[in-house]
Amino acid sequence: MLDFWYSERCTRQVKLMVSIVLCIAIYYCSSIAKLSPLFVGISLAIGIILHVLKQLSLKTPTQTVQFKLLKAFIMLLPAFALASMVWSLPQQNLLYLILQCLGFIALGFILIANYENRAKRSD
């Protein structure tokens, strides 16, 4: 999924549609159960860290041990972070809170990835 997001096949329109659908899903889930601002901040930070790690893996040569460790860490970070957040979330409406956490992780990732790859203004 991350490889598709960074490829040329993923156009600006696709990224915009994904962002809009993601915001609608977060809004719907928040109408049922409110996520604490602390968990929102943690989720956004995880998305940002995921983007930074992906950028590091793109700059690392593919045949090195560091590349393989980065690739494994990129796959495991969201799972462990989400599992630790789920453990501390309230049990009432847990599914909607988990969906909001996932949405904010994706939103943090999308915002930073789009900001970094935006079209530069010419003078």
72-118: pLDDT as tens digits:
888 888 888 888 888 988 888 889 999 999 999 999 988 887 776 66
Q: What is the average per-residue pLDDT within 41-46? A: 92
Per the domain annotation, does 30 fall within a domain? yes
Model pLDDT, residue 113: 79
The tally of domains found in the chain comes to: 1
Domain span at residue 30? 2-116
Q: Is 2 helix (H, G, I), strand (E, B) or coil?
A: helix
Higher pLDDT, 48 or 8: 48
Residues 57 and 70: beta-carbon distance below 8 Å: yes
Dihedral over Cα of 88, 38, 22, 7: its sign: negative
pLDDT at 123 over 60: no
| pLDDT value of residue 86 | 86
Mean per-residue pLDDT over the chain, rounded: 84
**123: in domain:** no
Looking at the predicted structure, is the pLDDT value of residue 58 above 80?
no
Residue 121 lies in a domain: no
Whether 122 is in a domain gets the answer: no
For residue 91, is it within any domain? Answer: yes
Q: How far apart are CA 103 and CA 30, in angstroms?
A: 11
* 75 part of a folded domain: yes
In this prediction the pTM is 0.81
Identity of residue 65: V
In a domain, 93, yes or no: yes
53 in a domain, yes or no? yes
Task: Give the model's pLDDT for residue 118.
Answer: 65
